[in-house]
Amino acid sequence: MNAIISAPELADELAGGAPPVLLDVRWQLSTAKAAGAPPFDGRAEYAAGHLPGAVFVDLDKELASAPGAGGRHPLPDVAEFGAAMRRAGVSSGRPVVVYDGGQGWAAARAWWLLRWTGHPNVRVLDGGLPAWEGPLSTEVPVPEEGDFVPEPGASGLLDADGAAALARSGVLFDARAGERYRGEVEPIDPVGGHIPGAVSAPTTDNVAADGRFRPAEELRARFESLGATGDEAVGVYCGSGVSGAHEVLALAVAGIPAALYVGSWSEWSADPSRPVAVGPDPQ
């Protein structure tokens, strides 16, 4: 099954007899907003217009637990996550399509969590809301309670030790911007740099100018050139397990399975005993 769906394909499925559950996960990294701008409010964006039938999901409250030792977006409590998904109408036997405002990071986080907890049929709207050419709605649906019960472990998850080991034995991609990987700037976390042995692979390079993923063959060629040749385990981390989920999604589009280090750099860099590499080279 493809991990993404185009807007025309989604329109066809919504018009059919078994439409997917739609989840709207609009979110924006707070530090990315312009100086002086009001905080991004995904719920307000949703209220102003969303795909008909879509249910809003709050990334910070429903797709993560509170920031702490596990990073800025640790895994949510599994029982609470399952309850949130059931409230949104998610059932194991019904497809789910997730979208966001176009960046794809938040939608990928929801996709990854649902896949990790065992949902068999989850896709991300390629290009997000800007790719949608159909009508929007301001009506807030009240979906029928779903039956999804999360069973963690269906897809790869890394902790800090696992990420460090994978950087030595396999391929560990750093999905952040190159300047953060190199340690030239660090706008969020305590220190700049990267996990020793990790390879810089900014997730922004996986998409075209319109926000849609590059073709699968291009993505595969990119990841192969960075060391993911298919003979080794692959993992990804980022700042807090959000943009890294987007890279895991890109790898899935390319046909390459990958694990996610959810704590990512926000967890790694919070412990001064963990080693930090700087510069353009992995070591």
Residues forming the active site: 238
First-to-last alpha carbon distance for the chain, in angstroms, is 36
At 260, is the secondary structure helix, strand, or coil?
strand
Backbone angles phi, psi at 200, to 5 degrees: -70, 125
Q: Residue 225: CB partners within 8 Å, gap ≥ 6?
A: none
**AA letter at 135:** P
Q: Is 192 within 8 Å of 184 (Cβ atoms)?
A: yes
Reading the block at residue 233, the tokens are: 């385990």
Backbone angles phi, psi at 157, to 5 degrees: -135, 135
Round the CA-based radius of gyration of the chain to a whole number and report it.
18
Element (H, E) at 180: helix 178-182
